[in-house]
Amino acid sequence: MAEPDAAIVRIRDLVKDYRRGAEVVRGLDGLSIDIARGDFVALMGPSGSGKSTLLNLIGGLDRPTSGSLEVDGLRVDALGGAALARWRADHVGFIFQMYNLLPVLTAQANVELPLLLKDLSREQRAQRVAAALKLVGLENRAKHRPRELSGGQEQRVGIARAIVTDPTLLLCDEPTGDLDRKSGDEILELLQALNREYGKTIIMVTHDPHAAERAHRVIHLDKGMLRDEAA
């Protein structure tokens, strides 16, 4: 069993190259980072610095060109396609800038989607969905569709969907980027509560220094390399 403050993410010499025609573009250039269990980390840097590339690699949405990436002791970069998909479903909750909710489904049904991949009864799924919606303060909006919700409420549904499987990591890509300041602050307070009260390890890409202030650590990337780090 890992110690509570042990690194849950270990990245060593990570390289990610992309091909654009005959040109090879380096998205990450030999990155090495540790992220502790229960940490709340903000990834910052200019557009094209590698923030979203790193988030996608940690979440198993993409594969590195070279280097190693461990999450909770498992070499994620070495998993095959089917094993990677199962790992991602079990261990990663994604929170997106544009919510990515299905407009024809209710909040309840949107939150339930990740559970359909698991061996759970309908009753077990319903219990988990109800608990997740209550946690984000939307138990009274379960039957509402996205068009009947505010932007902040839609993002709360997105967060409920991300946490309903009790993931190891919460990966957030500009989670407040499409919200006004008040709604954005409410979402950041919710993420802080998930980190503080439930011990969730959160990695958040953001351009907003105001949002980054909520994190325990700020990691700055530039041209795919670690530039500096602030506590």
Q: What confidence tens digit (pLDDT) does each residue in 171-189 have?
A: 999 999 989 999 999 999 9
Residue 195 one-letter amino acid: N
Residue 4 has what pLDDT? 45
Cα–Cα distances in angstroms (integers) from residue 52 to residues 1, 47, 83, in the given order: 30, 9, 22
The model's pTM is 0.92
Q: Which residue has the tokens 């090879």?
A: 24
Q: By three-state DSSP, how is residue 125 classified?
A: helix
Residue 5 has what pLDDT? 54
The CATH code belonging to domain 39-64+80-230 is 3.40.50.300
pLDDT band for position 228 (cuts 50, 70, 90):
low
Residue 188 one-letter amino acid: L
Nearest alpha carbon to residue 161 among 82, 83, 86, 105: 105
For the segment 35-61, what is each residue's pLDDT rounded down to a tens digit?
999 999 999 999 889 999 999 999 999
For the segment 96-131, what is each residue's pLDDT rounded down to a tens digit?
988 899 999 999 999 999 999 888 999 999 999 999
Beta partners for residue 36, in sequence order: 7
Mean of per-residue pLDDT scores for the chain: 92
Q: Which residue has the tokens 């979440």?
A: 59
